Structure 1
Amino acid sequence: MASNREVSSRPNDTVEIFKDVQPEEVSTKVDGYSNFFTGEKSSVEKVECRRESAKEMTSTYYDLVTDFYQYGWGDSFHFCPVYNRRSFQQCLVDHEYYLSEKLDLKAGMKVLDMGCGIGGPARNIARHSGAEIIGLNFNEYQIKKATKLTAEANLQHLIKYDKGDFNEAPYDDNSFDVVYAIEATCHSYSREKVYGEALRVLKPGGVFGVYEWAMTDKYDPNNLEHKQVKEGVEEGDSLPELETITANLQHMKNVGFDIVECRDLVEISEIPWYKVLDGSSLRNFRMSSLGRFTTHAMISALELLHIAPAGSKKVHTLLCNAAESLVKAGKLEIFTPMLLFVARKPTSQE
């Protein structure tokens, strides 16, 4: 479990929204992003369009939302089991440490973080384990932030960042002792492609750990409400298409992994994971419904005064809608953001 020392998941009061983004780009980017989910295309056609343009879509999304995420969440952009006697920030770090311990990370191991965001989990895991971590990310804006924050934390000796696509990882076969991904592979156009890349770059016997987003067995694709909520999560979080727990497990097996563990960690949370978003818990005010309302009013005023760039309010509206969809999905129990996979690469390939 995490200690009470300062960790990089702590919300940063000094984050400035769109500090490093060209103001004229914001409105254009958010309109371009919205085009992936609107229009006259059928649902199937929209999914196919998002799969074909997943990299462009997700990179645009993170150009727009990274500062908002950092403002609300700190440096670690993910969900976690929530416990009564621990702050949300402590729970976030506990979740990262839990994965580190599941993968038995140790000093000297060479580890790949697929889709590392701004490096919050990598920094916490490196501190905890002493492992040498490479963070892979194709978003230039996030890579710059991750590099800066890691230098400020004096962790350059353990962590470096590479710009690249985890669907085509820029590494040789059998390069890493361990690979992990924290709520990142859901952005891939193909789970089998990204899982297959993890298998390829792992050494024989190496372990892959994933916190995956997935629809649960309670999801009914013929239920209109379920379908609308699922599509709301996909639009709000830049996802080509959410798949079921069963489908993700099969993808993992199809590429050649031996499954060590598959478990939905929602079941170990003492407080429903979505409570941090719905306003019934103020464990993280900025993420709550009241916090979002307050932030939205502030952003609207700043945009009206031409202090925030045009389009800022649209971006925050996108994130508010995403939060509402996630809360609905959580209450319906049709979605989990913390499906744990631990899988091993066979020591010999037949």
Structure 2
Amino acid sequence: MARYYDITLDLYEDLWGEHVHHGFWDPGEVPGVNGADRHAATDRLVRELVAFAGVPSGSRVLDVGCGIGGPALHLAGPMGCAVEGITLSARQAARANEKARDAGVADRARFHRLDALATGYPDEAFDVVWALESLMHIPDRAAFFAEALRLLAPGGILAVATWSVRTGELDEAERDLVEQILRHQVMPGFSSLDEHEQLARAAGFADVASVDWSGAVANSWDPAFAQIRRYEQGRSVMRDLARERGVDVLGFFHAGPLMKKGFDTGVITYGALRAVKPAPGPGRGGAPRADRTP
């Protein structure tokens, strides 16, 4: 999986810019017509997750699956948060640190190559665990929620935005579509939004809530937004990429039409989840220390 991130880093940044994730539009909006372009829309998705989860300014944030650091730079910049970003890709971490230096927030945003399930950070080190389009890359999601709970201070917030699958049984054609998407996107599997809520509660989180943003983000796979066609039209470019990086990189180009079909048919969904680590009850320990740093 780390290799896939490494070989596609520049492709995603070239096509989608600083924020390598979905955009967010209001109903009826079309990118670049009567709605935001892809850069403004991806910026908005970050703000929507901040608002939905209630992320406080100045928080200590762990950004799980930070990519090249786009959302973290917003958290560390306008919001004044202290952000630790982690990714399996050394190339992503290096690029994110470079962008943090360029943005003048390297003192508040640091990026590392670490496993999300074995970070080495101490208990209760963060006020917010932020996972924007990274949870679907983690095979053991129950372990993710347990680790997030460990890392959060009492009262801390878990903020997740993730690709998901429709709740309920899928028919054969729908299962085949999902399997193709997983293969081309190099992902282990999808969970439904309901399943994410269940996992959060089972881990011990309280005030668990989710919202379905499928309609708001679906424009992200419009060919004009994703811009994949400009690569597809240059077949020699694609051949060169395959020779240089391996055939796995071609899955990047096949995924776009499949994701659009997934959203159009309602098989693929997208949502956000918010949860809170309960404060300890009487006799179970005091309040978290204010001077603790990750």
Looking at structure 2, the residues matched to 196 and 332 of structure 1 have their Cα atoms a distance apart, in angstroms, of 33
Looking at structure 1, the residues matched to 238 and 267 of structure 2 have their Cα atoms a distance apart, in angstroms, of 36
Residue pair 1:65, 1:315 contacting (<8 A) in 2 also: no
Q: Where in structure 1 are there 5+ consecutive unaligned residues?
A: 1-57
2:19 equivalent in structure 1: 76
Residue pair 1:210, 1:341 contacting (<8 A) in 2 also: yes
Residue pair 2:242, 2:248 contacting (<8 A) in 1 also: no
In the superposition, relative to structure 1, how do residues 324 and 158 fare at CA in structure 2: closer, same or farther (>3 Å)? same
Percent identity between matched residues is 23
Aligned length: 275
Tell whether 2:49 aligns with 1:113.
no
1:45 equivalent in structure 2: none
2:206 to 258, 263, 274: 258
In the superposition, relative to structure 1, how do residues 111 and 237 fare at CA in structure 2: closer, same or farther (>3 Å)? same
In the superposition, relative to structure 1, how do residues 65 and 201 fare at CA in structure 2: closer, same or farther (>3 Å)? same
Looking at structure 2, the residues matched to 327 and 245 of structure 1 have their Cα atoms a distance apart, in angstroms, of 19
Tell whether 2:231 aligns with 1:295.
yes
2:116 equivalent in structure 1: 166
1:293 to partner: Cα distance: 3.2
Give the TM-score, by structure 2 length. 0.86
Looking at structure 1, the residues matched to 153 and 275 of structure 2 have their Cα atoms a distance apart, in angstroms, of 13
1:340 to 272, 277, 281: 272
160-169 or 190-199, larger mean C-alpha shift: 160-169
Tell whether 2:250 aligns with 1:317.
yes
1:59 equivalent in structure 2: 2
Tell whether 2:218 aligns with 1:274.
yes
1:237 equivalent in structure 2: 185
Looking at structure 1, the residues matched to 86 and 187 of structure 2 have their Cα atoms a distance apart, in angstroms, of 18
1:183 to partner: Cα distance: 0.6
CA deviation profile, 1:275-303 (whole Å, cap 9, x unmatched): 34243xx3x3xx1xxx42331343x4247
1:255 to partner: Cα distance: 0.7
Looking at structure 2, the residues matched to 276 and 94 of structure 1 have their Cα atoms a distance apart, in angstroms, of 13
1:71 to partner: Cα distance: 0.9
Looking at structure 2, the residues matched to 64 and 235 of structure 1 have their Cα atoms a distance apart, in angstroms, of 16
1:316 to partner: Cα distance: 4.9
Tell whether 2:111 aligns with 1:178.
no
1:78 to partner: Cα distance: 1.1
Q: What is the root-mean-square deviation in Å for CA atoms of aligned residues?
A: 2.1
1:139 equivalent in structure 2: 89
2:175 to 209, 227, 230: 227
Looking at structure 2, the residues matched to 65 and 169 of structure 1 have their Cα atoms a distance apart, in angstroms, of 24
Q: Where in structure 2 are there 5+ consecutive unaligned residues?
A: 30-34, 285-294
In the superposition, relative to structure 1, how do residues 296 and 311 fare at CA in structure 2: closer, same or farther (>3 Å)? farther
CA deviation profile, 1:12-45 (whole Å, cap 9, x unmatched): xxxxxxxxxxxxxxxxxxxxxxxxxxxxxxxxxx
Looking at structure 2, the residues matched to 82 and 312 of structure 1 have their Cα atoms a distance apart, in angstroms, of 34
1:247 to partner: Cα distance: 1.8
2:289 equivalent in structure 1: none
77-86 or 143-152, larger mean C-alpha shift: 77-86
The AA in structure 2 aligned to 1:318 is G
Residue pair 1:213, 1:242 contacting (<8 A) in 2 also: yes
1:125 to partner: Cα distance: 2.3
Residue pair 1:192, 1:251 contacting (<8 A) in 2 also: yes
Looking at structure 2, the residues matched to 81 and 178 of structure 1 have their Cα atoms a distance apart, in angstroms, of 22
In the superposition, relative to structure 1, how do residues 302 and 91 fare at CA in structure 2: closer, same or farther (>3 Å)? closer
2:264 equivalent in structure 1: 331
CA deviation profile, 1:132-151 (whole Å, cap 9, x unmatched): 11101121111111111111
In the superposition, relative to structure 1, how do residues 173 and 150 fare at CA in structure 2: closer, same or farther (>3 Å)? same
Residue pair 1:107, 1:132 contacting (<8 A) in 2 also: no
139-148 or 125-134, larger mean C-alpha shift: 125-134
